[in-house]
Amino acid sequence: MRSLLPLQFVDAIARAGSIRKAAEGLAITSTALNRRLLALEEELGVPIFERLPRGVRLSTAGELLIHHLRSQAADFEKLKGQIADLRGERRGHVAIACSQAFLPYFLPEQIGRYRREHRGVSFGVRVRDRAAAESALADHSADLALIFEPVRLSEVQLLASARQSIHAVMAPDHPLAGQSTIRLRDCARFPVALPTTVYGVRHLIDLALVRTSIELQTMVEADSFDFLRHYPRQEQIISFQIPIGLPPGDGHRALVSRPLDTRDVPAGRLYLCQLRSRTLPVAAAKFAALLEREIDHIAD
C-alpha cells in the first residue's frame, strides 16, 4: 500500500467509478483504499470524488488533480526517454488511441518496423472511436491518436493526414462486384451492413443520405469493422470500409472492395494527432515521425 502512488489509486477509482471495483483491480481492500483517499482529501482540504448512491465521480477539484497527476506522469516518461537517449539507448512507452481501421494491417506493420530497431520501447494500443481518441489525448492516456473523420480537433495538433474514400465490400459474385466504382443508389438495391453512428464511415454515409432521397436497406449494424469486413462472405450484402483497413488489392480473395463514387459520398480524411502544445516523450516523438512519413505516402 505504501508504494501505491496518488495517480494509481485516484486514476483507478475514476476509471472504475467505484472504490470497491478499483480496490479489486489494485488487489487491495476497499477499506485500505478508502483510507488512502480520505487522507489525500484531508491533505488537499477538498473532496476528490463526489459520493453517489452507486459509486463515485470526480469532483471539480478531482478533475484538476487527475489532470495534474497524468501530466506529471507523462513528463516523467518523457524524461526517462531523454535520459535513455543520453546513454545511446531508445527506451520508453508509446500509448496509441486509434480507430479500428488501423488495427489489421497498418499499425502492426509500423510498430513491428519500429521495434525491430528499438527493442526497448513498449507499446499500448487501445481501440477508441473518434471522440474517445481525442479525449484520450486530452487526459494523457494516449500520446498519439490515429482517427478517421475527427469530431472537434480543438485540443489536438495535426501531424499528418491522408484522403480516404469509402469502399463497398462484397462477395466476388455480387452483382456490383464487376463495377470499378459504385453509386450509392446502386447499393440501395441490396441489403447493407453499416457501422454504428459513432464511426466516421457511418457519419459520411449518413450525411450523403441526408442530401439525397436514397434509403439503404440496413439489415446488419455492428461496432466491429472486423465483423463488417468478413460478414459479406455469408450473404450478398454490402458493408463499408476505408482502404487502410483492407488488404492490398483484393487480397482477401473471398471478398472484393470497390470505391463509392465521390459524387455521392465524398472522401474523408484520416489523421495522426497529438495533444496541442504537448512535448512528446522521445520514443513517442520518434514513432510519430515514422507514422508521418508513412501517412504522407498513403494512396487512396
Nine-digit cell at 127? 481501440
Pairing of strands 167-170, 256-259: antiparallel
Alpha-carbon gap, residue 197 to 179, rounded angstroms: 28
What does the pLDDT read at residue 273?
Answer: 94
Q: What cell does 297 get?
A: 505516402
CA separation for the pair 103, 111 (Å, rounded): 11
* pLDDT at 300 exceeding the cut of 80: no
Residue bearing cell 463514387:
261
- Closest to 139 in 3D by CA, of 7, 46, 20: 7
Phi, psi angle pair for 202, to nearest 5°: -65, -40
How many C-alpha atoms does 213 have within 13 Å on its Cβ side?
Answer: 0
Helix (H, G, I), strand (E, B) or coil at 204: helix
pLDDT at 88: 52
Read out DSSP for 13-80? HHHHTSHHHHHHHHTS-HHHHHHHHHHHHHHHTS-SEEEETTEEEE-HHHHHHHHHHHHHHHHHHHHH
Contacts of 174 (CB under 8 A, 6+ apart): 190, 232, 236, 238, 256
Multiple choice CATH, 90-163+269-296, 1.20.1250.20, 3.40.190.10, 3.40.640.10, 3.40.50.2300:
3.40.190.10
What are φ and ψ of residue 226, in 5° steps? Answer: -65, -45
Spatial contact of 274 and 157, defined as CB atoms under 8 Å apart: yes
DSSP string, 164-180: E--EEEE-TTSTTTT-S
* Cβ density class 12-34: b for 16+ within 10 Å, e for less: bbbebebbeebbeebebeeeebb
pLDDT band at 2 (very low <50, low <70, confident <90, very high): very low
State yes or no: pLDDT of 34 exceeds 80.
yes
Range 166-266 classified under CATH 3.20.20.70 = no
First to last CA, the chain: 52
CATH topology for the 6-63 domain: Arc Repressor Mutant, subunit A (1.10.10)
d(CA 57, CA 70): 17
pTM, two decimals, is: 0.69
pLDDT in tens, 38-57: 888 888 899 999 988 888 99
> Scanning the structure block, which residue is given the C-alpha cell 474514400?
165
Is 90 exceeded by the pLDDT of residue 168?
yes
CATH topology of 6-63 equal to that of 90-163+269-296?
no
Whole-angstrom distance, CA of residue 100 vs CA of residue 113: 20
Domain boundaries, the chain: 6-63, 90-163+269-296, 166-266
Percentage of the chain beyond pLDDT 90 is 53
Please answer whether residues 48 and 58 qualify as being in contact, where contact means their C-beta atoms are separated by less than 8 angstroms. yes
